[in-house]
Structures are given as structure tokens and as C-alpha cells.
Structure 1
Amino acid sequence: MASLVGAAGCTKKQSAPLHQSQVKVQNTVQGTGNLVKDRKAVAAHLEMLARGVAGVRNANCVVFGKYAIVGIDVDEKLERSRVGTIKYSVAEAFRKDPYGIDALVTADMDLAQRLREIRADVRQGRPVAGFSEELADIVGRLVPQIPRNIVPPEKPENTGVNNRLQPAK
């Protein structure tokens, strides 16, 4: 027993490595990282890039913060898969651009029209009002209406009008 205790004391102590560091690698593309200083110039730049993609007839861009939404106009007769390919090509072109890397690209006709209207409001000096009005319209179209959630209006009291539906004659 004494030899075991003595032998345990004779083992060599393992020393901790002096410098243990880990290197973490992440593949990224550098975005703007900061708020855009000249929104009009960035919007015009991204619109030009989008128009340079085959199949894009026109583009409208709205910039807010370091982000942008770009609506592209394409031929309405194109198949959905072709529209998706064009939209992807625009996103690829933006990926190589520091202002386009964080942009959202849409080919939805209604959303593109809303972006045109926001852009016009910005040019007329109404960026906040224009944006909030159009955003309300966009959300109103996106949110589904569920028949179960519809609350019928209360019957007006004593109007003298029969509110029952009558069969068509």
C-alpha cells in the first residue's frame, strides 16, 4: 500500500498548454453595416443594377436604414419559374454589391406598385407618411380574413326598417 501511495507521488504532472486559442472562421460578404447616408443615390444604384438583369423591365427601390426593398417589373405572361429565375438573378447581382447584400427583392406586381408609390412619396418629401400608408395597405392585403372572426354589426334600435334578408323575386 505504501508503494502505491509513493508511486502516485512520482508521476509526472501534466502541464497545461501555454497558449490555447481557437480560430473561428465564418464566410461572410461585407455589407454596409451602417445607415445609408444618401438613400436616393443608393436606391438609384440598386434600381440600375436590377434593370441590368435580363428580363427586368423596370425596378423601384425604397431604402430604409441599411436595408432596401427592390420591386422588379417583369412580363406578366412569364411562367412563375421564369419569374423566380429572374428574381434570383437580381439577388445574385445584389450579392456582389455592398448596398445590395441586405436588399429584399420582390417580383410581386402589387408589392412592386406599392414600392413605386412609396418612392413617389419619398420624392415628394413624405417618407414617413407614405411608408406607413403603403405598409398598412400591404399588411391589409397579406393578413387573411377568417369568416369565423367576423363580428356582425349590432342591430340599430328602432330604425323602422326591417333588417331581414328577403328572397330574390
Structure 2
Amino acid sequence: MRIAVFVILLLAVLSGCNQAAKNGVSSSPGSNPNGQIQVKQTAPQKKQITDPQAVARHLEQLADSVPQVEGANCVVFGNTAVVGINVPPDVDRAHVGTIKYSVAEALRKDPYGADAIVTADMDLAQRIKNVRDQTMNGKPISGFAQELGAIIGRIVPQMPRDTSNPPPNPKLGDPNL
């Protein structure tokens, strides 16, 4: 009788060890031995930009095709595109946001425009146009540097404590006297 109980316990332990080796996961085509499931990437990969000017023209055409966009300018640096759009001046701010969203949605569906940056700010759109024009004229670095300097000049505030007192004008007399 003891031998039968011993044999049953031994079989139970051995069958339990057999299940532990599988770690509770059945072998299937999409899994690996660690129990992790591997999935293939299904989202389209962003295309590498080899001809920036052609991509810029293409993205401009996409943005221009959106209703109420009066014009678009695009600059491509590396693998990033910045698109400035012009909208009618009488459009209210909320509707401008809707137009900008529509342009972003149109660009998202394009492999080159998926990571583009869209702005409807009139000043930035003009500066993007200036950079684009300089790039088309064969001066991409100097055009970009000039406009970047102008943009930073608008962003950086003028702090009152950073101003200095002008030297007194001897003809007018010292105002502190």
C-alpha cells in the first residue's frame, strides 16, 4: 500500500514539473519561450526624405487643397517639415483652429507629412515663406539663420532690469540735479 501511495505522489510531482516547464503558456506561432507575444508593426513607417524641395512642394499642395486655405508654404529640414498656412483675415480664431486641424489631418494621411508641424500664425507663416524663398534661391543656411534670429527676437522678452540708463546729455543738463 505504501508503494502505491509513493508511486502516485511521484507521478503527481513529475506531471506538475512538466507543466511548470511550460510556464502555463501554450506554444503558439506568435509567442516565444518567455511567454511574451510578438506582434508585427502595422502602422506605416515614415518615409525618409531624400528631396526636400519636392516634398515641400507636395506638402504645400496638400495644405492648399484644404478649404479656406489661401496659401501654404513649407520648409523641410532633415526629416521634419514645417508648414505655414494663410487663412482669410475675417475668420475667427476658433475656425482658424479647425482649418489648421484639417490641414494637419490631411498631412497625417501622407507618408511625408505625418510628423509635419502646422502653424496658422500670420507672422510665422510669412517667416516660413521667407525661409522657403531663400532656400529656393540657393541660400538655405543664411535665410534660415536670419529668420530664426527674427523669431527668437520676438520670443525673447525685453526685461526692464536689462536696460541701462543712458549717459546724461551735457546740453540738456543732468536730470538728477
**TM-score > 0.5 by shorter chain:** yes
TM-score, normalized by length of structure 1? 0.79
**Structure 1 stretches lacking a partner, 5+ long:** 1-5
One of 99, 102, 105 as aligned partner of 2:115: 102
One of 130, 140, 164 as aligned partner of 1:152: 164
In structure 2, do the counterparts of structure 1 residues 52 and 164 end up closer, same or farther at CA, with 3 Å as the change threshold? same
SS at structure 1 position matched to 2:21: coil
* 2:39 pairs with 1:22: no
Letter in 1 for 2:170: G
SS at structure 2 position matched to 1:16: helix
Equivalent position of 1:3 in the other structure: none
For the residues of structure 2 that align with 1:113 and 1:138, how far apart are their CA atoms? 11
Pairing 1:1-150 to 2, within 5 Å after superposition: 12=13, 14=17, 15-17=20-22, 19-23=33-37, 28-32=43-47, 34=48, 36-147=49-160, 149-150=161-162
Give the structure with the larger helix fraction: 2
TM-score, normalized by length of structure 2? 0.76
Question: Which of 1 and 2 has higher RCO (CA within 8 Å, sep 6+)?
Answer: 1
Letter in 2 for 1:17: K
Higher radius of gyration, 1 or 2: 2
For the residues of structure 1 that align with 2:163 and 2:42, how far apart are their CA atoms? 52
For the residues of structure 2 that align with 1:73 and 1:37, how far apart are their CA atoms? 27
**Matched length:** 154
Letter in 1 for 2:45: Q
